[in-house]
């Protein structure tokens, strides 16, 4: 009798669980641990679902661990996610379509996807805007107008972003410009909980 009651109770609980919609956080966060300090970011899957999924795919693979900020420009942005500590380009998955037309702007503290002149060429590289960069915003579906897809924002660690941006730079022997003279390493990137939404 007790076994039958327990079975009915379990079925009832499981059934209730199936009928009740799952509770998800409104956003997704990541913690980026660098050699100059930690940067916390909130990502916006509601605004840039493909971009966020792509970024988190690399995060979950550990792809960004041991990469560097290979391009930093004070008063502009810091860029990373594509080169290892030997400044060798890491192999990536296929490019993703641009979601720059999502209404988000390249404002101070936002993170966006880096790309080539082709709007739909972003893979793993990203940049964090140190200042408002309206020239990078979407204005239309043309080569010049696509801009760069914003998909999140720094919630803690802008002082670290500014510190990285202020590093003296040089032209590296690998042919890269604006490379910090003292290497800035992304040691580890991992997911963290958040409940914020894109503004």
Domain tally, the chain:
1
Q: Please indicate, yes or no, if residue 27 is contained in any of the structural domains.
A: no
Which pLDDT does position 180 carry in this prediction? 97
Q: Please indicate, yes or no, if residue 14 is contained in any of the structural domains.
A: no
Q: Please indicate, yes or no, if residue 114 is contained in any of the structural domains.
A: yes
167: left (phi over 0), alpha (psi -120 to 50) or beta: beta
Which pLDDT does position 53 carry in this prediction? 97
Q: Please indicate, yes or no, if residue 63 is contained in any of the structural domains.
A: yes
Nearest Cα to Cα of residue 159 among 78, 100, 105, 70: 78
pTM of the model: 0.85
Report the CATH number at residue 49.
2.40.100.10
Which pLDDT does position 196 carry in this prediction? 59
Q: Please indicate, yes or no, if residue 24 is contained in any of the structural domains.
A: no
> What is the Cα–Cα distance from 175 to 163, expressed in whole angstroms?
24
Q: Name the residue range of residue 119's domain.
A: 32-192
Which pLDDT does position 26 carry in this prediction? 52
Q: Please indicate, yes or no, if residue 177 is contained in any of the structural domains.
A: yes
Q: Please indicate, yes or no, if residue 197 is contained in any of the structural domains.
A: no
Which pLDDT does position 194 carry in this prediction? 81
How big is the chain, counted in residues? 199
* Long-range residue pairs from 86-92, CB within 8 A, at least 24 positions apart, any chain: 87/172, 87/174, 87/176, 87/179, 88/174, 90/63, 90/124, 92/58, 92/123, 92/124
Q: pLDDT truncated to tens, each residue of the chain (199 aa)?
A: 444 333 343 333 333 333 333 333 457 999 999 999 999 999 999 999 999 999 999 999 999 999 999 999 999 999 999 999 999 999 999 999 999 999 999 999 999 999 999 999 999 999 999 999 999 999 999 988 999 999 999 999 999 999 999 999 999 988 899 999 999 999 999 999 885 556 6
């Amino acid at each position: 009798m007790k076994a039958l009651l327990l079975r009915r109770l379990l079925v009832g609980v499981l059934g209730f669980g199936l009928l009740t919609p799952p509770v998800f956080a409104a956003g997704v966060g990541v913690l980026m641990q660098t050699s100059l300090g930690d940067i916390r970011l909130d990502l916006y899957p509601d605004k840039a679902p493909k971009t966020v999924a792509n970024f988190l795919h690399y995060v979950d693979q550990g792809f960004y661990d041991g990469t560097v900020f290979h391009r930093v420009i004070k008063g502009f942005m810091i860029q990373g996610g594509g080169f290892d500590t030997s400044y060798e380009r890491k192999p990536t998955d296929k490019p993703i379509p641009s979601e720059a037309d999502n209404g988000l702007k390249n404002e101070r503290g936002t993170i966006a996807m880096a790309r080539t002149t082709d709007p739909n060429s972003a893979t793993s590289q990203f940049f964090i805007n140190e200042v408002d960069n309206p020239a990078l915003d979407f204005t239309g579906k043309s080569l010049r107008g696509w801009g760069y897809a914003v998909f999140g924002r720094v919630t803690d660690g802008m002082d670290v972003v500014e510190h990285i941006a202020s590093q003296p730079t040089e032209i590296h022997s690998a042919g890269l410009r604006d490379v910090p003279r003292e290497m800035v390493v992304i040691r580890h990137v991992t997911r963290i909980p958040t409940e914020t939404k894109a503004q």
